[in-house]
Amino acid sequence: MAQSKSLREKFLEFSETVPGRFLILHGPAYVILYVILLFPFLLEIFLSFSDWEPGRGEWWLAHFNYGLGFSRIFGNFRLWRSVGLTFLIACIAVGVELALGLIGAALFSRSFKGKRGLTALFLIPMFFMPVVVAYNFWMMFQPTGPINFVVGKLIGREVIYPWLSRRGSAFAALIITDIWQWTPFMFLILNAGMLSLPQNPIDAARVLGASEWQIFRHIKLPMLKNVIIIAIVIRFMEALKLFDTPIILTGGGPGFATETLSIYTYIVSIQTGRLGYGSSIAMVLLILILLIISPAVRPILRRR
């Protein structure tokens, strides 16, 4: 009597012989995935063309306002101020993180004693929750916190400076917090890219007498172009959605000094309950991100 096949053998035989097996095996998973992704997105689009608020009944009965929320956006000075502030924070923070990440990747591209331990230590900040990081920096930037204590020791007198109550210093504190947490992310991507570079051009340049700076500038940096673009795109998209850090650190203040677009969207959608208008703002943010990101990734996609 022939030995019965195991379930695994039957599955392998089915996956290798049945036409359309890929669709049969993976189709349900893709359907579930697309439903999970598409439904919230389509709902967001629908709400962005309505004036729905939770107190006005069910969302599918919302009044269709033909994009009136979008027309209000163009005259909303507070909104565009938050957009400009968000882009400014993203440009400064991502720029500094990129520079520090490149420096770190260049230093760690060579072998030295204790490299693994230092690498692990350098990556620790990115594993903390943004809320935890923001709360710790909030404590450090208090008038009686450790930052004023250290500054006071350096200049020889007591310092009680309200870092988070002044517009300029609150803005700087927000950027410093973001840089501290996310520079390791840049370092991780750039270091991985640098370690994967072909060694032959680098060795040839050393034989020809090129300095380490010349090798980095003229050989390593051009070969890292795609990796750098990917790192910038990922971090820039995350920076444009900045919410946790400023809401804990400054609450968007003082005044509107650190009110990012995500905070303003939260105020409009959740605190005032204008979810239709808030959805319009969210769609504008999505369009802005796509307009900025598309030119950056187009060269990479074209090469593929």
> pTM for this one?
0.81
CATH numbers and ranges of domains, the chain: 67-303 (1.10.3720.10)
CA–CA distance, 33 with 20 (Å, rounded to integer):
20
Give 249's contacts (C-beta < 8 A, 6+ positions apart).
Answer: 134, 137, 138, 141, 164, 170, 173, 174, 177, 258
Q: Is the dihedral of CA 215, 221, 224, 226 positive or negative?
A: negative
Predicted local confidence at residue 1, as pLDDT: 42
Identify the pLDDT of residue 2. Answer: 46
pLDDT score of 92: 95
Q: Contact at 8 Å (CB) between 87 and 272?
A: no
Model confidence at 21, pLDDT cuts 50, 70, 90, reads: low
What is the SS3 assignment for 138? helix
The pLDDT tens digits for 229-257 are 889 988 998 898 899 999 999 988 888 88
In this predicted structure, the answer to whether residue 175 has a pLDDT above a threshold of 60 is yes
In whole angstroms, give the CA distance from residue 186 to residue 139: 26
Higher pLDDT, 304 or 235: 235
CA dihedral 220, 296, 88, 285 (to 10 degrees): -150
Three-state DSSP state, 63: coil
**Which residues, at least 6 apart from 255, have a Cβ–Cβ distance to it below 8 Å?**
167
* Nearest of 271, 235, 236, 234 to residue 251 by alpha carbon: 271
**pLDDT > 70? residue 60:** no
What pLDDT score was predicted for residue 179? 95
285 alpha-carbon distance from chain centroid: 14
Could you tell me the pLDDT band of residue 74, with boundaries at 50, 70 and 90? confident
Residue 62 has pLDDT above 70, yes or no: no
Among 51-65, 107-121, 149-163, which is the least confidently predicted range? 51-65
Residue 142: burial class (beta carbons within 10 Å; 0-12, 13-18, 19+):
middle
Residue 99: pLDDT band (50, 70, 90) is: very high
pLDDT tier, 172 (very low <50, low <70, confident <90, very high otherwise)? very high
**pLDDT of the residue at 109:** 81
| DSSP per-residue codes, 154-194 | HHTS-----GGGSHHHHHHHHHHHHHHHHHHHHHHHHHHHH
Least confident residue range of 90-104, 179-193, 210-224: 210-224
For residue 291, what are the CA distances in angstroms to 132, 244, 285, 288?
A: 32, 25, 10, 5
Q: How many Cα atoms within 13 Å fall on the side-chain side of residue 207?
A: 6
∠ at Cα 45 (278, 297), nearest 5°? Answer: 95
Name the residue with tokens 């920076």.
239
User: What does the pLDDT average to over 45-67?
Assistant: 71
